[in-house]
Structure 1
Amino acid sequence: MTDQTGSTTEEGRMRRWRRTHLGTEADRATFRTLHNASLATPALRGGLTVDSAERAAPHLQALLAAPALAITDTDGLLAWEGIGTHHQEQVTKLAEGTLDHGATRFYDRVDLECGQAGCPLHTAVVSPLVVEDHLVGTLQVYAPNTSAMMVRAADEVATWVSGQLELAELDASRRRLMEAEVRALRAQISPHFIYNSLGAIASFVRTDPERARELLLEFADFTRYSFRTHGEYTTLSEELRSVERYLLLEQARFGDRLSVRLSVAPEVLPIAVPFLSLQPLVENAVRHGLADAETGHISIKAADRGSECLIEVEDDGAGEDPERVRTALAGGNDSVGLGNVDARLRNAYGDDYGLVVETAPGAGTKVILRIPKFAPGVHT
């Protein structure tokens, strides 16, 4: 049996269901709640500021279905959303009780004085916003009447907002830690490398002025990149370009004693990597590759491995005592930043993505790192 369109009765029934069935009222209410929460999240993950509060307030008001809502920090009003803007002058005073006692407080029409005729806002619920056990502000809900359900809803939303603000603080702490680690790594860039590079450049000034000029430009670009002040991450392409500049300067110094082989899959060049994540590994390879040896060979590979990029930095030099490497990865006796890079990789991608070092005395050293092509919060 078919309907007028020629489809079967069952197909027609399924088509009508897709067009008309939007779920129960409870389903729709759940969707609205989740939707408003998702809209408020990006603003709250920016921390508690005027801008983030103003962007989050409309969605929090809709989430609570309240006529008016206010967000404060410990100093005063950050954002007001809804009717009754004349009540803004009372916001800071109402916040004081909650900030002093750390608990939700309810205010009725006696507390919420209003000289404007017809104003429907007669009650307020003020709930604390807490980040890492510190009171940082309040969420205030204004309504004609307040029920036990309204108080509970305000408390629940304030707890959720506090959670988002705590995640924002964790993000900020992580960024500060990453920045501190990069500053520490910059401080570890060998002064000897700088002096030796300038010495090598100076040696070409008379014999090969054009090469001296080119090396000086490479040195300028290398130092400019190494000491740049923006961004925790860069592309693998930019990181490798800086490594190439470093190796050009080292080859100008060591000549034929140092040979380098570079093998990079083009498809991994755009991926994001922690800033200055390869430079310390290559510097370590040069130092060990030429230690007590007439010549040294350095190999740098970057291969596509599906959802990851596999990077290897290898030298055929003196090798290391594995115990000393373990100490370096733990942050001790690390003059070239091995532990620094390992810590930043784990911080960015998780403990499964720390450095892997294969070495032994007299057997050279290979350092392996895996970089996910996509990771939350990682972008250039």
Structure 2
Amino acid sequence: MFSPAVDVAVVCAVALLTVAIIGFLGHRLSRSQRDLGSDSERAAYAALHTATLASRHLRTGLTASGAGKASRHLRALLGCDTLVLADAAAVLAWEGSLPDTAASRARLLAAARTVLDSGRTRVFRGASLRSLGFDDDGGRHLLVCPLQVNRKTVGTLAVFVPSVSAGLVRAVNDVAGWVSGQMELAELDTSRTLLMEAEVRALRAQISPHFIYNSLNAIASYITTDPVRARELVVEFADFTRYSFRRSGNFTTVAEELEAINRYLLLERARFGDRLKISLQIGPEVLGTVIPFLSLQPLVENSVRHGLEADDGEGHITITAADAGSSAVITIEDNGVGMDPDYLRSVLAGHADGDHVGLRNVDVRLRQVYGEDHGLVIDTAPGAGTLITMRIPKSQPGHRA
């Protein structure tokens, strides 16, 4: 048992410690408030933070799911009674104290149609609000702003407020403009995806007439002399075409692309025999790196077509993939006939047609996905072969094979 004196000492110590902790936390809190700056700076920070929260739900465009989640943050940003997001056909989100009913949605769409037709902000109050079927006994006003993508009105942002001022109209228009900007970014991402799919289809079309014809001819040459070999090549051909012409996915992994390249080279060896020499130097740590679909195979095909087919000697192709910190560096080198650098620049710029279209296709897609610094780096000269290098970021949030 502790003595009363000891008990009092312990209680005092605990009390002092509590006071010290409270004082410390109070000091940190007051310091953090000071660090945020003035009241206006804190208000600006809060507004930006709320806008950031809303933007996460608008990245895929103005969808019912995204609008429903974003509307809560947009309402908080504007401090309005009720906020409604709609596209040209339906109300997508209704957030606030006013009852969300089928009738109220129909009335809101009637107001939105006038804005969709004119592309201009409108204020409904008094008689104009009652004409829509809304009861204005509560003194509410309805402000409807257009949402525009590429100068076309595709939706509306509406708010119910107690009163309308010039400042409020500017604020709601600014928020509507910001939402429109997010929608344009989403449309740009969609267009980029569609463009990538079109580029892949172009590559598939390039593979189809040239490679398939030569492969089938090579397989046919073995049918009578070596039927077992012909059967193996048919299986490899089927697996390669299944991979190359798959209908879904703009991304794959280094491992899957190399597996398809191996099948492609097996079929090309059936044509060229010992003239085709392959060397692989692959770091196992980069096999899982995500890369755009059909971004390596066209480069290898370029080495075969413009190396061996243009020369009677042996063709050496070296493929390397190595870890380089935050990136995977992949190279494809051949000892073929090479290219004139000026002609290569024209090909990559899209100013020259010809058999090297696969190089430009891959270069464009890499720049679209990873930025201008991630295009192909090509070292070549007439008679000096070709070395192609690509650098792929290992961290790719949002890209899945």
Partners of 2:107 and 2:134 within 8 A in 1:
no
Match of 1:178 among 183, 196, 201: 196
Give 1:238 deviation, angstroms.
1.3
Give 1:9 deviation, angstroms.
9.6
Give 1:298 deviation, angstroms.
0.5
Structure 2 equivalent of residue 107 of structure 1: 124
Match of 2:99 among 84, 102, 115: 84
Match of 2:214 among 177, 196, 208: 196
Q: The residue matched to 2:73 in structure 1 has which SS?
A: helix
Give 1:103 deviation, angstroms.
2.4
Structure 2 equivalent of residue 66 of structure 1: 80
Partners of 2:129 and 2:135 within 8 A in 1:
no
Give 1:18 deviation, angstroms.
4.6
Describe the superposition over 1:82-108 as per-residue Cα deviations: whole angstroms up to 9, x where unpaired. Answer: 223243222122123323332222111
Alignment of 1:255-270 (within 5 A): 255-270=273-288
- Structure 2: state its 5+ residue gaps: 1-11
Partner Cα separation in structure 1 for residue 135 and residue 111 of structure 2: 21
- Structure 1: state its 5+ residue gaps: none
Partners of 1:348 and 1:378 within 8 A in 2:
no
Give 1:78 deviation, angstroms.
2.7
> Aligned pairs, how many?
378
Match of 2:326 among 303, 307, 318: 307
TM-score normalised according to structure 1 size:
0.89
Give 1:71 deviation, angstroms.
1.4
Structure 1 equivalent of residue 262 of structure 2: 244
Structure 1 equivalent of residue 370 of structure 2: 349
Partner Cα separation in structure 1 for residue 398 and residue 354 of structure 2: 28
Match of 1:161 among 179, 182, 199: 179
Match of 2:149 among 131, 141, 146: 131
Matched, 1:142 2:160: yes
Match of 1:14 among 19, 24, 39: 24
Match of 1:335 among 355, 362, 387: 355
Structure 1 equivalent of residue 393 of structure 2: 372
Give 1:375 deviation, angstroms.
4.5
Describe the superposition over 1:33-63 as per-residue Cα deviations: whole angstroms up to 9, x where unpaired. Answer: 3443233223312122334323322332233
Aligned amino acid, residue 107 of structure 2: Q
Structure 2 equivalent of residue 361 of structure 1: 382
Say which is worse superposed, 201-210 or 154-163, in terms of deviation. Answer: 201-210
Partners of 1:58 and 1:81 within 8 A in 2:
yes
Partners of 1:84 and 1:121 within 8 A in 2:
no
Alignment CA distance shift 1:69-1:9 (3 Å): closer
Say which is worse superposed, 74-83 or 132-141, in terms of deviation. Answer: 74-83
Describe the superposition over 1:99-119 as per-residue Cα deviations: whole angstroms up to 9, x where unpaired. Answer: 333222211133222878897
Structure 2 equivalent of residue 296 of structure 1: 315
TM-score normalised according to structure 2 size:
0.84
Q: The residue matched to 1:358 in structure 2 has which SS?
A: strand
Partners of 2:290 and 2:396 within 8 A in 1:
no
Say which is worse superposed, 343-352 or 111-120, in terms of deviation. Answer: 111-120
Partners of 2:125 and 2:136 within 8 A in 1:
no
Describe the superposition over 1:131-166 as per-residue Cα deviations: whole angstroms up to 9, x where unpaired. Answer: 122211110001233344432321121111011001
Partner Cα separation in structure 2 for residue 89 and residue 9 of structure 1: 59
Describe the superposition over 1:276-301 as per-residue Cα deviations: whole angstroms up to 9, x where unpaired. Answer: 11111101111222122231111011
Alignment CA distance shift 1:150-1:317 (3 Å): same
Aligned amino acid, residue 172 of structure 2: A
Matched, 1:220 2:235: no
Alignment CA distance shift 1:371-1:104 (3 Å): same
Partners of 1:236 and 1:272 within 8 A in 2:
yes
Structure 2 equivalent of residue 320 of structure 1: 339
Give 1:314 deviation, angstroms.
0.7
Give 1:305 deviation, angstroms.
1.2
Partner Cα separation in structure 1 for residue 297 and residue 190 of structure 2: 26
Structure 1 equivalent of residue 89 of structure 2: 75
Structure 1 equivalent of residue 53 of structure 2: 39
Partner Cα separation in structure 2 for residue 249 and residue 121 of structure 1: 78
CA-based RMSD = 2.9
Partner Cα separation in structure 2 for residue 370 and residue 287 of structure 1: 24
Aligned amino acid, residue 118 of structure 2: H
Partners of 1:355 and 1:368 within 8 A in 2:
yes
Partner Cα separation in structure 2 for residue 61 and residue 295 of structure 1: 70
Aligned amino acid, residue 341 of structure 2: P
Partner Cα separation in structure 2 for residue 169 and residue 100 of structure 1: 22
